[in-house]
Amino acid sequence: MQHEARIPEDLAGRRLDQALAQLFPDYSRSRLKDWILAGRVQLDGAAVVPRTPVAAGQRVTLQAAAETRAGDEPQAIELAVVYEDAHLAVINKPAGLVVHPGAGQPAGRLRRAPHTRR
């Protein structure tokens, strides 16, 4: 997916990676930096590096790559269930078990299942 934007006055003088994080908040800064390094970001038609300072009015073109979501399949994780009914589950979560899915933790994490009726 291609995105285009102009650098606004309030971002002038900032680094490209910082400006992109403000312009495209749907993507993480690390993802944006990877795309810059891979040549998927151009500033006024030229490939640049993450630390490039930007000026107001410059045109940014971003070729965003589709993200794959690995690890969304259920996994057998031993959990100590303290209480459970149709609306609530209380577990004794072990230390170190990641709760929120995110980059860098593709598997072995606790995640709420989609809402289902019992």
Same domain, 80 and 57: no
Same domain, 75 and 41: no
Q: Which of 62, 64, 69, 51 is nearest to 111 (CA)?
A: 69
3-state helix vs strand vs coil in the chain, percent to 5: 15, 25, 60
**Structural domain for 22, as ranges:** 2-63
Question: How many domains is the chain partitioned into structurally?
Answer: 2
Instruction: Quick: pLDDT tens for 25-42.
Output: 989 889 999 999 999 999
Assigned domain for 117 exists:
no
Same domain, 95 and 54: no
* Sites in the chain below the pLDDT cut of 50: 116-118
Same domain, 42 and 8: yes
What is the pTM (predicted TM-score) of this model? 0.58
